[in-house]
Amino acid sequence: MTEAHIPTFAPEVIGHIGSVSITNTMINAWIAMIIFLFFGLFLVKRIALRPGRLQNGCEYFLEGLFGYLDQVTGGRKETLRFLPIVGSVFFFILLSNWLGLIPGTGSITAGHAPLLRPANTDLNLTVAMALVSVIASHIFAFGTIGFFAHANKFIQIGTLVKAVKHGPIGIFTALVECMVGIIEIVGEMAKVVSLSLRLFGNIFAGEVLISVISSLVAFLVPAPFMLLELLVGLIQASVFAMLTTVYLTVATSAPHGAEQ
């Protein structure tokens, strides 16, 4: 039986830069971003009219991704608009999840804590990414259908102004629509909670499972669970990216009845 570090909910602080605490999940996230950046620059420099194997592989993957996203967005034009944020979220989550499975991630320590820990086992990071996805959907909506048209989904400004002219029925209708708007606002908050907790819960549970199994049996037995975590990392990245695409698509759609 070998001793292994069982992760806690809060990431471990391994150092400080000034007054800023540096956690092991932050290091994992920085490594993922650096790999992401250098691979992108490496690929851009090698783009050619006669593509090599790497370019062919990337183009094949992107075509499959485009077709998948087109089914949600309804067209290639919208897919290309959303791809920078959706693609960045997908690849960052995928890479940061898989980095947590590199041998030595939990065993290399700095003091009494592991030097590296999967970035998405930090609830702060998953909440931040969820906020980016939801806020981006509203920014895209303001630019696509207009500020007042989008804001009217939550606060019925026009209805409130006209309510007085229609007497008690108009006022009652305005109150009902205001309540619906409040429910919509709560729904936007629920998106952040759902996105962040789903990703955090799945990745954290997998990390705890592998740590426990590794503490009991160091060789061979943890391997199937690590392979399973590769699949879980891919699924969670896909789910997060697809839900982000759905939020962007719904937010940029014209409100019901706008055609009239």
Only one residue has tokens 């094949």, namely 60
**What's residue 164's pLDDT?**
58
Distances from the Cα of 253 to the Cα of 63, 73, 126, 248, angstroms:
24, 10, 26, 9
DSSP result, 122-168: -HHHHHHHHHHHHHHHHHHHHHHH-HHHHHTTTS-HHHHHHHGGGHH
Quote the CA–CA distance of 75 and 54 in Å, as a whole number: 27
DSSP state of 80: H
| 53-106 per-position pLDDT tens digit | 888 888 888 888 888 888 888 888 889 999 889 988 998 998 888 887 776 665
Q: Which residue has the higher pLDDT, 255 or 95?
A: 95
Report whether 32 contacts 119 (CB < 8 A): yes
DSSP bridge pairs for 23:
13
| 159-213 per-position pLDDT tens digit | 655 655 666 666 666 677 777 778 888 889 999 999 999 999 888 887 777 776 7
Place 233 in a pLDDT band, splitting at 50, 70 and 90. confident
Region 32-53 average pLDDT: 85
Place 259 in a pLDDT band, splitting at 50, 70 and 90. very low
Region 219-229 average pLDDT: 68
Region 217-224 average pLDDT: 61
Distances from the Cα of 200 to the Cα of 57, 144, 192, 236, 237, angstroms:
30, 32, 12, 10, 11
Amino acid residing at 20: V
| 128-141 per-position pLDDT tens digit | 999 999 999 999 99
Neighbouring CB atoms inside 10 A of 16's CB total 9
